[in-house]
Amino acid sequence: MSLQNATSPSNEPVIRCESVYKIFGDNAESLLKKANGAVDAAKFKEAGCIVGVNNASFEIHEGELLIIMGLSGSGKSTLLRCISRLTDATAGKIIIEGDDILTMNNKQLIELRRNKMGMVFQNFALLPHKTVLENIAFPLQVKGMSTSDSIDRAMEMVNLVDLTGREDYYPRQLSGGQQQRVGIARSLAIEPDIWFLDEPFSALDPLIRKEMQDEFLRLQSTLHKTIMFVTHDFDEALRLADRIAIMKDGVIEQLDTPANIVLNPATEYVRKFTEEVPREKVLKIEAVMDAVNADVSLGELSVNANTIIEDVAESILNSNAPVRVIDDEGQTVGSITAAKIVHVLFGDHSINLSETTS
Amino acid sequence: MISAFMQKKYLQFVALLVIFILLYQTIGPAENNLLWRLPPLIQAFPLWINDSISYMMFEWWPIDIYDPDIEEYEESPLVREFTRLVSGLILFLIELIREIMLGGAKTIVTFAGWDWATANPWAKMPGLPWTVIAGGATILGYTLGGRGLALFVGLSMTYISVFGQWEPAMQTLSFVLVAAPVSVFIGLVFGIWAFRSKTVETVLNPLLNMAQIIPHFSYLIPVMVFFGIGDHAGAIATVIFATPPMVRLTLLGLKKLGPEVAESGMMSGCNNWQLLTKVLVPTARRDILIGVNQVIMQCLAMVVLASLIGAKGLGIDLLIALNRLDIGAATEIGICIVLIAIILDRMSLAWANKQTDYFPDQSFSGRHKYSLIFAVLFVVALGLAFVGQFIFPEGFNYLYIVPHNKGISIAIFLQSGVDWIWDTYFFALKGFNEWLIISFLMPVKAAYLGMPVIATFTLMMGVGLIVGGIRVALTVGGFLLFIALTKWWDRALITAYLMSVSVLVSGIIGITLGTLCAQNAKSTRFILTYCDTFQTFPSFIYLIPVMMLFGITDTAVVIAIIVYASIPALRYTVEGLLSVPDTLQDAGTMAGVNRVQRWLSIELPMSFPHIALGLNQTVVFALSMVIIGAMIGTDDLGQLILGSLSDRNGVGNGLILGICVACIGLAIDQILRTWANQRKQALGLN
């Protein structure tokens, strides 16, 4: 599965944040003005304010899956809620498809949510008095779609998330995983361009969580939504993300691809996270392969550059000659040796991989 | 030395007690001594209230109203026209429901006029046979709560009918069926408003506290002035009394939802109205329906009192029976009221707890099973009633309605039973009664009345200070000061005496019995069922047996209060003990505690905040019963309120007296609540 290919960066980002701040407290705005952009969480706390998001600037492009990662209290959910404007950011600009949503009035905002946004919640937040089908049809009916049309559409969504046969059940008759499938179907019913997911799988058991992640990847591979996904689970982030933003105390510590975060942690905090990560599960072949070299004779075997190392490690280790690395079109883009794989698997993690390759 | 004193609360309490006793002993009754009694500085308050109300009703903002009788415009004050309009509307609704159940011509008169109705005597609402209503209620009971509830509802309805109480019972029910939905609606609106606006919540909170503790009687008087006398006045007084819990529970239910539900609604693109009606209110369904249940209970509690200002039904019959000391009839009517209360309570609770389930592939008859059964029942019952005409003598068609007081009656047996008890135990009862009054109640009452005002203030504010600091002390002082500055301080002391004696006994009974019953699962279940059942009894009912045994004395009142007020103490004790976490119990077991150690060192401290709140409820229950005790002759604030009911200018007095009672309750509430909250915080239970 190749998510990288789904990303087709266009010039105009779908979401652009410019110096977004969210500060909780009575005189947050005046304090922020005084601080002149340099917000110190500790000082603000003395003044009775809590810093939720501190100077966040980034862009998300069409079809990209950005994961906001952080521990509880790091401001990741707050950032998501600023962008969906469930809370009002204290300062900054949040531009979605050209419009600054912070200046929108209530009516425009409702319009935007009815047509462009969908959101999945940690604790599902399904309506207990409506059936699965009615829950999914709810955003459509709120928009004014007729009952029969909305039910037809909702039925398609039920099939999409594999809940066929349970459409007339009530939420409390479903398991957690099934409830979240309903949550996902509901958020997708209006065919949003932007999809927000707030720790969607955190309330589920580990086994179900894995299953739901697979389901999520399956959906995304066909839908290609622009996604902001919040999680506190680093493994989940590495598994799903195109890019990851790691947050701490409201500040985005690093925003990069999973491979770069693991290989080149920008701060000490990020390094601590990446320390224990099994790199063969994160890195793709292309991150560690050697450049094309005519002098080396390659074996019969070839692997795709986008493959996760773990998936092909065994066959590479078993081959005597260096293995050919090809791209999706079958062009040779490099080679990889068993020695390199051994280094990834058992080598000293503190040594930077990309340096040892040169 | 001083720091040791500041830390040891019991030392502070001992010191307070010493000061109190010293003050009590040294200051004697004296006409002009401010330490003995404060002058009644605010005695003009009631007059002022009277004046402003009569100004509002009879002079303020006159508008022109067309009078069809004299065919001319007349001036009439706005407020009066408004209250007339409201009265008319409510009365119409009550009559409509009443005539659906019992038949009559008033609804038709409303639309067609008297002349037409007199000219066409056939034009009457026919009224449903009792079998239709009883059967319908049974089917409803079955859909909501299953076979048990259906059986109970069916038997109760049959009892009411067979004992010839159908007519007053339906009159009562029609009045509840109007008052309850109105209360629910108003409560819902205010609850939602308070949820959306912090300001509204802060303003409403003290008002709700006050409204729930001001005695029922006090509401009756202003309602009477504004709306006159009759079923509508009773309904309006009931609405005022029944709305606060609805506001509370709506607010609570909405607050409990957590932010995600609202957020999911917003992200689905709801506007404010859709968010409210399609997301928030339905999701808070259960709490809101519990509020409906509370409203219904409050309505039934008011049934008897509303009859004081003209509501028809069981209440007025009960009142008359009690006035004649006809215990047999009073018991029969009392049972009817209790049965209706339990039916409505259980049905509304079942409704709150009911959750729809999905059953696949139902046919038309499957989906509309109950409606179909009801339709069949309707036809069959009508047929039976029609046939009944020919079987039974004129006016006695038992298949249509059992005429009032023409049913079976066991009043004679009950009466002779009471007489037998009197004959057999006369001396024992009389002896106990006299002993209690002479050697206990009278001295305590005298002691309360002999308390200098400064001693009372010192004691109450001192407790406030020790428990919650200067703020609580000042609040308590403020409440007391209000009472002290009216001319009813002595009466208030009598109310306080009746209340505190009963609360003391109720508290001891409640906590001991609660602790004993919480020891095993079976007795726990039993005692909770007992509480559930007895809590639904309108407070007035408790007066019947005690009057039977002790006549019109303080003993009767005190015992009624004790029985009534021990219910919350019991319930909260049991629930508090049950709420002790299992892990803590296990930790205790592994540390090797015995039964008594477990109770003293784990269960009691952990459940103390809960029990303190129970005592708070006990105080509220006791106060409301003390005031109702006025009906059987006490000489406290309640008696004065009852007196102002029949006084033309009683509004001011009645209201201020009511507020005095509320002040007693609120002062104690302040102390107990602060204490409970502090313990909660200390134990990390929040």
Which of residues A276, A297, A332 is at a domain's end?
A276
Structure tokens at B666: 């609120």
Taking the CA atoms of residue A310, residue A315, residue A318 and residue A323 in that order, the dihedral angle to the nearest 10 degrees is -100
The three-class DSSP label of residue A304 is: strand
Beta-strand runs (E) in B37-79: 62-67, 72-77
Of A21-30, A63-72, A235-244, B23-32, the poorest mean pLDDT is in B23-32
Domain residue limits at A74: 3-11+58-85+109-116+192-276
CATH, residue A255: 3.40.50.300
Residue B605's Cα: distance from chain center in Å? 31
Of B159-163, B293-297, B547-551, the poorest mean pLDDT is in B547-551
Which of residues A236, A251, A276 is at a domain's end?
A276
Residue pLDDT, tens place only, B106-116: 777 777 777 77
Ranked by mean pLDDT, the top range of A280-289, A320-329, B189-198 is B189-198
Q: Name which of A78, A111, A116, A127 to mutate to probe chain B: the one with the most chain B Cβ atoms within 10 A of its Cβ.
A: A127
Residues A196 and A342 in one domain: no
Q: Summarize chain B as % helix, strand, coil (round to 5).
A: 80, 0, 20
- pLDDT value of position B360: 61
**Residue from the list A111, A113, A128 with its beta carbon closest to the beta carbon of B267:** A113
N-terminal to C-terminal alpha carbon distance within chain B:
34
A142:B268 CB<8 A: yes
Residues of A in contact with B355 (CB under 8 A): 170, 172
Window 279-298 of B: residues touching A by CB (8 A cutoff) are 279, 282-283, 285
Hey, what domains does chain B have and what are their CATH numbers?
A: 130-357+394-408 (1.10.3720.10), 415-441+451-683 (1.10.3720.10)
- pLDDT value of position B214: 85
Residues A210 and A267 in one domain: yes
Dist CA B528 CA B575 (whole Å): 9
Q: Name which of B263, B264, B270, B283 to mutate to probe chain A: the one with the most chain A Cβ atoms within 10 A of its Cβ.
A: B264
**A168, part of any domain:** no
Residues A289 and A349 in one domain: yes
The three-class DSSP label of residue A99 is: strand
**A185, part of any domain:** no
Handedness of CA B217, B220, B225, B230 (dihedral sign): negative
A128:B283 CB<8 A: yes
Residue pLDDT, tens place only, B195-254: 989 999 999 988 888 888 888 888 888 888 888 888 899 999 999 889 999 999 999 999
Residues of A in CB contact (< 8 Å) with B are 81, 84, 86, 106, 110-111, 113-115, 117-119, 121-123, 125-131, 138-139, 142-143, 168-170, 172-173, 186-187, 190, 196
For B280, which residue in chain A has the nearest alpha carbon?
A127
Query: B271 and chain A: CB distance < 8 Å anywhere?
Result: yes
**A64, part of any domain:** yes
Residue pLDDT, tens place only, A12-38: 889 999 999 999 888 888 888 887 777
Q: Angle formed by the axes of helices B166-196 and B285-301, to 10°? A: 140
**Residue from the list A123, A129, A168 with its beta carbon closest to the beta carbon of B358:** A168
- pLDDT value of position A349: 56
**Residue from the list B269, B279, B358 with its beta carbon closest to the beta carbon of A131:** B358
| Mean pLDDT across A170-178 | 90
Residue B392 pLDDT exceeds 80: no
Query: B270 and chain A: CB distance < 8 Å anywhere?
Result: yes
Residues of A in contact with B351 (CB under 8 A): none
**A16, part of any domain:** no
- pLDDT value of position A6: 43
Residues of B in contact with A111 (CB under 8 A): 269
Residues of A in contact with B352 (CB under 8 A): none
**A237, part of any domain:** yes
Residues A200 and A322 in one domain: no
Of A45-54, B52-61, B359-368, the poorest mean pLDDT is in B359-368
- pLDDT value of position A2: 40
Residues A286 and A255 in one domain: no
Residues of B in contact with A122 (CB under 8 A): 260
**A334, part of any domain:** yes
Residues of A in contact with B266 (CB under 8 A): 86, 113
Query: B263 and chain A: CB distance < 8 Å anywhere?
Result: yes
- Beta bridge mates, A91: A21
Residue A7 pLDDT exceeds 50: no
**A314, part of any domain:** yes
Taking the CA atoms of residue B2, residue B6, residue B9 and residue B15 in that order, the dihedral angle to the nearest 10 degrees is 50
Residue percentage of chain B with pLDDT more than 90: 28
How many structural domains are present in chain A? 2
Band (pLDDT 50/70/90 cuts) for residue B444 is very high
CATH, residue A307: 3.90.1280.20
Dist CA B492 CA B498 (whole Å): 10
**A259, part of any domain:** yes
Residues A66, A228 contacting (CB under 8 angstroms): yes
Q: Go through chain A and tell me how many residues it has.
A: 358
Dist CA B234 CA B250 (whole Å): 25
Strand order in the sheet with A243-248: A117-120, A194-198, A226-231, A65-69, A243-248, A251-256
Beta-strand runs (E) in B429-549: none
Residues A204 and A347 in one domain: no
Residues A330 and A300 in one domain: yes
A129:B282 CB<8 A: yes
Nearest Cα of chain A lies from the Cα of B575 at a distance, in angstroms, of 27
Of B3-7, B85-89, B256-260, B576-580, the poorest mean pLDDT is in B3-7
Residue pLDDT, tens place only, B403-418: 777 777 888 888 888 8
**Residue from the list A128, A130, A142 with its beta carbon closest to the beta carbon of B269:** A142
Structure tokens at B308: 């004081």
Q: With left for phi above 0 and alpha for psi between -120 and 50, is residue B24 left, alpha or beta?
A: alpha
For B360, which residue in chain A has the nearest alpha carbon?
A168
**Residue from the list A86, A127, A130 with its beta carbon closest to the beta carbon of B266:** A86
Mean pLDDT of chain B: 86
Residues A202 and A268 in one domain: yes
Q: Name which of A88, A110, A194 to mutate to probe chain B: the one with the most chain B Cβ atoms within 10 A of its Cβ.
A: A110
| Mean pLDDT across A313-317 | 85
Residues A81 and A230 in one domain: yes
Q: Name which of B268, B356, B362 to mutate to probe chain A: the one with the most chain A Cβ atoms within 10 A of its Cβ.
A: B268
Which of residues A261, A276, A291 is at a domain's end?
A276
B358:A169 CB<8 A: yes
Q: Could you write out the DSSP letters of every residue in A262-289?
A: HHS-SSHHHHHHHHT--GGGT-BHHHHP
Residues of B in contact with A118 (CB under 8 A): 267
- pLDDT value of position A1: 37
- pLDDT value of position B487: 87
More confident residue, B368 or B499: B499
Dist CA B504 CA B309 (whole Å): 34
A125:B260 CB<8 A: yes
Residues A330 and A348 in one domain: yes
**DSSP structural state of residue B125:** B
Window 337-356 of B: residues touching A by CB (8 A cutoff) are 355-356
A119:B279 CB<8 A: no
- List the one residue out of B294, B304, B307, B181 whose CA is nearest residue B233: B307
Mean pLDDT of chain A: 85
- pLDDT value of position B494: 92
ipTM: 0.78
Dist CA A14 CA A86 (whole Å): 18
Residue B74 pLDDT exceeds 80: no
Q: What angle do CA A266, A271, A275 make, to 5 degrees?
A: 150
B270:A142 CB<8 A: yes
Residues B469, B25 contacting (CB under 8 angstroms): no
Ranked by mean pLDDT, the top range of A14-28, B386-400, B535-549 is A14-28
**Residue from the list A129, A142, A172 with its beta carbon closest to the beta carbon of B285:** A129
Q: Is B332 exposed, middle or buried (0-12, 13-18, 19+ CB in 10 A)?
A: buried
**DSSP structural state of residue A308:** B
B261:A81 CB<8 A: no
Of A85-89, B405-409, B455-459, B526-530, the poorest mean pLDDT is in B405-409
Residues A241 and A262 in one domain: yes
A172:B268 CB<8 A: no
Query: B358 and chain A: CB distance < 8 Å anywhere?
Result: yes
Dist CA A225 CA A221 (whole Å): 9
Helices (H), A85-233: 106-115, 132-143, 147-160, 176-188, 206-223
Band (pLDDT 50/70/90 cuts) for residue B359 is low
Nearest Cα of chain B lies from the Cα of A343 at a distance, in angstroms, of 46
Nearest Cα of chain A lies from the Cα of B373 at a distance, in angstroms, of 26
CB pairs under 8 A between A and B: 70
Residues of A in contact with B264 (CB under 8 A): 119, 121, 125-126
Residue percentage of chain B with pLDDT more than 70: 99
- pLDDT value of position A348: 62
For A112, which residue in chain B has the nearest alpha carbon?
B269
Nearest Cα of chain A lies from the Cα of B357 at a distance, in angstroms, of 7
Residues A234 and A350 in one domain: no
Residues of A in contact with B286 (CB under 8 A): none
The three-class DSSP label of residue A19 is: strand
